[in-house]
């Protein structure tokens, strides 16, 4: 028996002992199918080979979908943990000034945003003067401003949370950072009976951080906690 025949016999014995090794090797199976097609000639259509190629394509798509679902699940979990941390930090301050300082520092870092503004509507000049020292974080506006700002000049239905790119004509609300803010999240706040509407604005330099296609469930939850904390201070 020649050396080539001995090697072939050895390989044959290994394959016969564990044929599943070949079946599980996609590249090897593809090579065997290609060799079979070449042996049959160009005039024969191998329907079984075509079916296998389609099955492989479907398997590849399923694997990609599987990876995308897992990635989305991890992203949602990370977002949930982020909001929970922000809510816990929001409940720590013992006075209103500390509450606003926490909002501008710790909460901004946890949420990974570059700008936070609390907008309060008021028809009384005295209320605006009382909040002047918090001008970096609090903006007092005339009644109707928040609805107009959230609509952005569009006759769209009013939504509790709006995610969008920053509109240049409205960017001034972000103060000194206005020129760098690329996207924003707007959360309408119900501050209680007898009080005017409020709004919490998160701004990011990343134009893709807040997009209209993103989900708003977590931000809706955060806004609900925030407005209840605000009612305590306003009361």
Q: What is the pLDDT of residues 51-93, one digit of tens each?
A: 767 777 787 787 777 777 776 666 667 778 889 999 999 888 8
Q: How far apart are the first and last CA of the chain?
A: 98
Mean pLDDT of 13-26: 77
Q: Report if residue 74 sits inside a domain.
A: no
C-alpha to C-alpha distance for 174 and 172, rounded to whole angstroms: 5
Does 94 share its domain with 34?
A: no
Q: Are 178 and 171 in contact (CB under 8 A)?
A: yes
H/E element holding 141?
strand 138-141
Say what the pTM is.
0.66
Does 31 share its domain with 91?
A: no
Token readout for 98 is 């500390």
Q: Tell me phi and psi for residue 152, to 5 degrees.
A: 60, 35
- The band of 179, judged by pLDDT with boundaries at 50, 70 and 90, is confident
Token readout for 130 is 């009382």
Does 47 share its domain with 104?
A: no
Q: Report if residue 72 sits inside a domain.
A: no
Q: Report if residue 47 sits inside a domain.
A: yes
C-alpha to C-alpha distance for 63 and 5, rounded to whole angstroms: 41
Higher-confidence residue of 124 and 117: namely 117
- The mean of the pLDDT values for the chain is 80
pLDDT at 1 over 50: no
Helices vs strands, H then E, count in the chain: 9, 5
Percent of the chain with pLDDT over 70: 80
Write the DSSP symbol of residue 168: G
Q: Are 199 and 186 in contact (CB under 8 A)?
A: yes
Mean pLDDT of 124-141: 71
C-alpha to C-alpha distance for 179 and 172, rounded to whole angstroms: 8
Boundaries of domain holding 7: 3-63
């Amino acid at each position: 028996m020649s050396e080539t025949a001995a090697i072939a016999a050895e390989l044959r014995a290994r394959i016969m002992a564990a044929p599943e090794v070949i079946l599980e090797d996609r590249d090897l199976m593809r090579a065997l199918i290609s060799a079979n097609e070449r042996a049959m000639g160009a005039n024969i259509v191998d329907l079984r080979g075509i079916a296998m190629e389609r099955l492989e394509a479907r398997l590849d798509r399923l694997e990609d979908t599987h990876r995308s679902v897992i990635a989305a699940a991890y992203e949602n979990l990370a977002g949930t943990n982020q909001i929970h941390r922000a809510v816990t930090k929001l409940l720590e301050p013992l006075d209103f000034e500390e509450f606003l300082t926490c909002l501008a520092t710790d909460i901004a870092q946890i949420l990974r945003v570059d700008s936070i503004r609390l907008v309060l509507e008021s028809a009384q000049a005295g209320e605006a003067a009382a909040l002047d020292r918090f001008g970096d974080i609090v903006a007092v506006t005339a009644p109707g401003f928040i609805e107009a700002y959230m609509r952005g000049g569009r006759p769209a239905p009013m939504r509790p949370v709006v995610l969008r790119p920053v509109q240049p004509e409205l960017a001034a609300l972000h103060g000194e950072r206005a020129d760098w803010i690329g996207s924003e999240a707007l959360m309408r706040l119900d501050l209680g009976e007898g009080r005017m509407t409020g709004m919490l604005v998160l701004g990011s330099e990343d134009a893709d951080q807040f997009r209209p296609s993103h989900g708003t469930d977590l931000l809706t939850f955060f806004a609900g906690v925030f407005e209840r904390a605000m009612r305590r201070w306003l009361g």
